[in-house]
Structure 1
């Protein structure tokens, strides 16, 4: 779309009222943004929407038939509640749903039994069934002038409570009539559009927003889906080409250096996966030169405890053997301190270069965090700037302007999804030459997601676990159906402690209650055990457990983000030493914390955590050769949709299988969009699990385009589409996982 045309403000074409509403509720302000706000799905006027397929806790639009309507006066305040039961005509009444209206005089008048209407609202859950409260609706007459049911599908747009789908559709329809669609430019190269048999841009916009039949919107959707994939993959291919064009310094290592000494002293054998990935990384570090490929850009993913840090450490030692330094960027102070201690311990004398008793030719490891004392911070800064410290480990403090390196050759980013593009680049700029990059994630990523999110990185996977890692058993503890289990949890914990082991207890919040109060009896009925229940807090549970008879004489401590850093360090050291039997914590222990004697994890309100987070958390137990157990405690009813996540986690320890399930259960934008980039998902029609062939074909096209035209000088419309859809803010999602 031409920049001038697409950038026109909606107010000029739709009027101030409509434009203001679209911007306020959807963040849409230009012609391009509204035209590219595609329908999520389509409804046929003659068909009712399956109610059991409605997405829980999201805005939904459906067509249904009214079965009954009743009204009652509220007891504690003025007004009435109108309850409407609607159906999709599923046999046995299984496809029914109750709607509640506050003071719904219009609904009471219009929604009589037998009426067919389109409803739009947020799907809730009460009394083991789905509900809608105060939804918007429009009546459907269901027939055309000839008495036949209208064939034209009804577009359903992603809506909000204040702006239902049909109001968005009216605005889009008005825009289609006001804009000269023939003037719109096409980001797809003509040869690709011809090869795929795609419609023109003008026809595609009309068919996707105003289809005459299902075949039209399907044809248009295929075109825009491929276009989306091509724009995304071209952006990634261009970035990768730019990276590879940089002149990196080859880090050849040394046959009798630190890495050789480290390997010789290892008390165990590397797994086959660690060896293979190590060779791969070593070759890439050594191959970079002014005449050869650019710096290494590699994603290292693997299960919790698969030995990624050891692989990264060996790469760091090769860089140090070549005269360079390595920086390890960690998301939390707890994890940074854990890395610091574990790397120093495993290196032993090799990390005491220049010290009495240290290895001749060894290096030093230093830690830099924001809460360190001024003298300690000064010493760490000096060690990094002078090159005395070959390995510098830290949090966001590493990004400070005060931090300088003697020769930064390798950046290792742990848990990449915690960092933004600008943070990674800030560390890159501290190197005199483009540094090598190793990104680690313990959340396994499906291949198609890796192609889409990390398309500018080569990918390595560690699938096998080192010797000594025991299996983890996970169980859903439903307190609604089994109230007595609330006591059994702590008895079970005591059994582990009496056996000489330790226990983690994870809570979703630290202290004071958050969120709205429970509704009064006159408001739409909600489950008190559902979304409005008070969540377990570390501070409150700590007090309860210290008074729990089953845990008498046990030392129980708390760990959370508000603690003083020195206190955090002391508590974690005591827990690691076995002096603390139970640690009540927030998710601060989610990654990296390594206590071999911990065998049981109790996760309170487990339904409030995502699949990947639950998988990460339970990976903290069973790390010392002892079987691990994770108890996923929930107060939700068995039928509640959020229980599906818990059942999925309890059913398997395969992180790749769980990542697929995670992507299916939650909106894709949560993974690739809003939660990553701070805005709406950059993916509109593309679904990375479902459209692997499209992504692969688009990637091949993108690589060829960039090879022939690196700066997109002959593909200006494609370059413009990249700029419009992947501006610097939205492009952040490309480098997150």
Structure 2
């Protein structure tokens, strides 16, 4: 089987070109599926061909001439007895008179068009000279993805070598092929590379593609199960709650945990009680109450004399966690330490010293937490908020700060819900907990789509609500002028709003401000002193101002669904009816129309994530995670969910019953991927 992973033979002259297409071995070639096919299996009569058809015709050359229109053109006329067609060439050799000699029989393949006189013509057809040796092909001619300087015929020749060499062995047991009605692997690949007209008529290539989707998803499941097993093999402290802090905290909360919060708490505490490292992803919609779950998890570690870390991607969000959680834990005399880039050298030294000597029980901060000079006395739990904002390397850097013999438990949180198909595939190395209900009493948010030419009406609406004591966000995606995107400059908008809304107090916060200035502006808004806050998207994650009831988003057509949903979630946190106003420009692209339709018709984060996957595909949703995991080539996660379910079961069966086949499948599909070598 593994002969198919051998480097391609006798390709020295074109090896650099093949490498550009990632064609290094025969298996790469097997998966290099044609983009499309040309039908050179049948000759059509000139009289019956229709406009727009891609066909082959055959006839005797009855004339040729050069005409001078805008450019020099060669016209060749052929007759097959039923009618005459003109072949038009813009590029031709001086020897055309010999090449297209009158009386010669030729075949021409291309798209049927009409010339300016309404006569049938083919522009730059592919030409074959007809003789006894040139027979019609039995299969369609594949057109492969290629690169400059590499002829399609060279790839066809290599594919012929592959099938002649009998390198392709079956990867799945017969029982699985029978159960799921799958083609054999060689048959599937042969169909896709050498499709016959009869197979095409019966849509046989769809079955062939289905087989590759199965293999691809089974291999991915096997890989993820392997990663899962290696991660969950890491030793970690068995942490069981003593209820020293947990029971008193729950009793003093001004609200009851939802059923979903209680369920995920049980899942997390069960994981932490094991002597293997927890690797759990906690996902929940905007405002579903993930922070209190993280706090309870941290308290469980602290009850057992371990340190806990909560890390967030932005200083605004990290600081909000710090102030909120510190307040909650005040009665318990727990030492909570703040660690971020904005600290003075002296403050930083004190904070890192508290981490090392163990006096810091809970450490809350930003990227500063995993820097080299930060060490911990006894780290038991790491909570990473908005985990998709951090690279795999950054997360590992923090997790590796545990004791050498033990890893800290790891809880990752995301307010961007992950569709089930992604959770089952790219996140299959993690256990996933979902908070799928919002706390009671949250007011529903109305989403309004408004054309930017009605901007003055929106300003009037914001003014009226400010006079009632309500607060508003006004979000601009960019802070610097960009001619290309024509986006509103946040500073210009701030000046515009200051003038239009005077004497109402307007603030401005953007990503290029110093952390100290940003914190002051945010504090003014939280206290209610500032009534309208103009902001770039720095406020999209985690900011909590219950009195803010209006969210205006400029150029909403330029933003992704997840980002729009996150921003909308900043309002509706109190008992005031809230509105999210999406301003958009004319001339919307199809994707922008789709996004705005989805965001204005649902507030369900899980449905929005599913639609986002359909619109964008998994690449962008996965972000940094994608960098470690190869993209799927054949399967589409949402469309092929049934295959994904089957692949999970088949992967488990292969590991238990056919371990050699399981190993071969992973080697085949991931042989040249770095992630495979690391397991």
Q: Which residue of the other structure, out of 268, 271, 294, is the alignment partner of 1:312?
A: 294
Q: Which residue of 1 aligns with 2:525?
A: 575
In the alignment, structure 1 residue 204 sits paired with structure 2 residue 188: yes
Post-superposition offset of 1:426: 1.5
Q: Which residue of 2 aligns with 1:227?
A: 215
Q: Is the 8 A contact 1:558 1:584 kept in 2?
A: yes
Q: Which residue of the other structure, out of 32, 36, 39, is the alignment partner of 2:31?
A: 36
Structure-to-structure mapping, 1:220-619, within 5 angstroms: 220-255=208-243, 257-286=244-273, 288-289=274-275, 294-350=276-332, 353=333, 363-432=334-403, 433-479=406-452, 483=453, 485-513=454-482, 515=484, 533-547=485-499, 549=500, 551-619=501-569
* 1:444 partner SS: coil
Q: Which residue of the other structure, out of 605, 610, 626, is the alignment partner of 1:660?
A: 610
Distance in 2 separating the partners of 1:708 and 1:390: 47
Distance in 2 separating the partners of 1:428 and 1:206: 47
Distance in 2 separating the partners of 1:375 and 1:599: 40
* 1:300 partner SS: strand
Post-superposition offset of 1:224: 0.8
Q: Which residue of the other structure, out of 173, 176, 189, is the alignment partner of 2:159?
A: 176
Q: Which residue of 1 aligns with 2:106?
A: none
Distance in 2 separating the partners of 1:503 and 1:42: 57
Q: Is the 8 A contact 2:214 2:643 kept in 1?
A: yes
* 2:362 partner SS: strand
Q: Is the 8 A contact 2:557 2:588 kept in 1?
A: no
Distance in 2 separating the partners of 1:154 and 1:544: 62
Contiguous gaps of at least 5 residues in structure 2 = 42-50, 55-69, 72-89, 93-109
In the alignment, structure 1 residue 693 sits paired with structure 2 residue 677: no
Distance in 2 separating the partners of 1:701 and 1:348: 52
Are residues 490 and 22 of structure 1, via their aligned partners in 2, closer, same or farther at CA, if it must alter by over 3 Å? farther
Q: Which residue of 1 aligns with 2:7?
A: 8
Are residues 676 and 421 of structure 1, via their aligned partners in 2, closer, same or farther at CA, if it must alter by over 3 Å? closer
Structure-to-structure mapping, 1:19-58, within 5 angstroms: 32-38=27-33
Post-superposition offset of 1:603: 0.9
Q: Is the 8 A contact 1:682 1:726 kept in 2?
A: no
* 2:637 partner SS: coil
Deviations 1:185-209 (A, max 9, x none): 5554565456545444443323223
Distance in 1 separating the partners of 2:581 and 2:144: 40
Deviations 1:693-713 (A, max 9, x none): 22122112223444568xx66
Deviations 1:225-249 (A, max 9, x none): 0111111100111122223333321
* 2:674 partner SS: coil
* 2:310 partner SS: strand
Distance in 2 separating the partners of 1:44 and 1:559: 61
Distance in 2 separating the partners of 1:424 and 1:336: 16
* 1:403 partner SS: coil
Q: Is the 8 A contact 2:619 2:626 kept in 1?
A: no
Distance in 1 separating the partners of 2:384 and 2:34: 38
Q: Is the 8 A contact 1:296 1:436 kept in 2?
A: yes
Deviations 1:583-632 (A, max 9, x none): 22221111111111111111111111111111111000111122221111
Are residues 685 and 713 of structure 1, via their aligned partners in 2, closer, same or farther at CA, if it must alter by over 3 Å? closer
Q: Is the 8 A contact 1:302 1:461 kept in 2?
A: yes
Post-superposition offset of 1:722: 4.9
Of residues 382-391 and 568-577 in structure 1, the stretch that sits farther from structure 2 once superposed is 382-391
Q: Tell which structure's C-alpha radius of gyration is larger.
A: 2
Deviations 1:331-377 (A, max 9, x none): 22221111111111222233xx3xxxxxxxxx211222233221121
Post-superposition offset of 1:570: 1.0
Q: Is the 8 A contact 2:232 2:277 kept in 1?
A: yes
* 2:264 partner SS: helix
In the alignment, structure 1 residue 648 sits paired with structure 2 residue 598: yes
Distance in 2 separating the partners of 1:115 and 1:557: 69
Q: Is the 8 A contact 1:65 1:115 kept in 2?
A: no
Contiguous gaps of at least 5 residues in structure 1 = 47-62, 67-79, 82-103, 119-136, 354-362, 516-532, 733-737
Q: Is the 8 A contact 2:449 2:582 kept in 1?
A: yes
TM-score by length of 1: 0.74
Distance in 1 separating the partners of 2:493 and 2:143: 45
Q: Which residue of 2 aligns with 1:723?
A: 670
Structure-to-structure mapping, 1:71-220, within 5 angstroms: 112=115, 172-179=155-162, 182-184=166-168, 187-188=171-172, 192-193=176-177, 195-196=179-180, 198-212=182-196, 213-214=199-200, 215-220=203-208
Post-superposition offset of 1:324: 1.0
Distance in 2 separating the partners of 1:499 and 1:168: 71
Are residues 372 and 713 of structure 1, via their aligned partners in 2, closer, same or farther at CA, if it must alter by over 3 Å? farther
* 1:540 partner SS: helix
Distance in 1 separating the partners of 2:151 and 2:625: 26
TM-score by length of 2: 0.80
Distance in 2 separating the partners of 1:232 and 1:150: 37
* 1:630 partner SS: strand
* 2:579 partner SS: strand
Q: Is the 8 A contact 1:65 1:117 kept in 2?
A: no
Distance in 2 separating the partners of 1:645 and 1:599: 23
Distance in 1 separating the partners of 2:599 and 2:672: 35
**Equivalent pairs, count:** 605
Deviations 1:634-690 (A, max 9, x none): 113367442221111001111122122112222343335x77534996211112112
Are residues 189 and 425 of structure 1, via their aligned partners in 2, closer, same or farther at CA, if it must alter by over 3 Å? farther
In the alignment, structure 1 residue 682 sits paired with structure 2 residue 634: no
Q: Which residue of 1 aligns with 2:66?
A: none
Distance in 2 separating the partners of 1:157 and 1:730: 30
Distance in 1 separating the partners of 2:464 and 2:232: 56
Q: Is the 8 A contact 2:228 2:429 kept in 1?
A: yes
* 1:311 partner SS: helix
Q: Is the 8 A contact 1:542 1:556 kept in 2?
A: yes
Q: Which residue of 2 aligns with 1:58?
A: none
Q: Is the 8 A contact 2:170 2:186 kept in 1?
A: no
Q: Is the 8 A contact 2:144 2:155 kept in 1?
A: no
Are residues 595 and 9 of structure 1, via their aligned partners in 2, closer, same or farther at CA, if it must alter by over 3 Å? farther
Distance in 2 separating the partners of 1:236 and 1:117: 55
